[in-house]
Amino acid sequence: MFKFEEKILLQQIQRGREAAFSRLYDAYQDKIYRFIYFRVSSESLAQDLTSETFMKVLQYLTSGKKIENFQSFIYRTARNLVIDTYRQRGQNELPIDDFVKDSIADQKDVAEDVADKFSLEQIEGGLTQLSGPYREAIVLRFVEDLPFKGVADILGINEEHARVLVHRGLKMLRNILQTKNHNRL
């Protein structure tokens, strides 16, 4: 969906035409579900959090508040709901879903030596060892296929910081994987 089309739909929703929300829902439902599922690894919880995300976004829009970047706003809303869910459960770390390893291996932008030299299981194991911000930046960039601007908006940082997180995260991932591989020999 084009940004221009999103802006028109957002204006229509804010003017009381809530039916316009269904187009935004159709465009983002699968992406938001996948984004959440990667973090909670439960279909039913992911469905619940996806529904809650859209409800919160609709409530926000119908309250008359403006949204500059809908994609960033909806991902940030979903992210916050996942974080809240983990806090309520007393957990600090978000899990990595098995699909992450497949998505990272499929991305041409990921350091080729990581994808070429290591198995998907090794990549997944390495990701679980990265600290939250690095892991999350890599997942947003390569699994969700977001541009650095989108990663930055969702994480609440500037674009340059997002680039640094991804770059350093990939270097750390490569080092983790090389160390593990060397220790096995």
Give tens-digit pLDDT for 155-174. Answer: 989 988 998 888 888 888 88
pLDDT band at 126 (very low <50, low <70, confident <90, very high): confident
**pLDDT tens per residue, range 84-123:** 888 887 765 555 444 444 444 433 444 455 666 777 678 7
Mean pLDDT of 120-132: 79
Nearest-10 crossing angle of helices 70-88, 148-155: 40
Does residue 93 or residue 7 have the better pLDDT?
Answer: 7
- Is residue 94 within 8 A of residue 82, CB to CB? The reply is yes
Q: Do 68 and 105 belong together in one domain?
A: no
Measure the N-to-C terminal CA separation of the chain; round to a whole number of Å.
49
Domain count, the chain: 2
pLDDT of 77:
93
- CATH number where 150 lies: 1.10.10.10
Full residue range of the structural domain in which residue 75 is found = 3-88
Assigned domain for 93 exists: no
| CATH number, domain with residue 23 | 1.10.1740.10
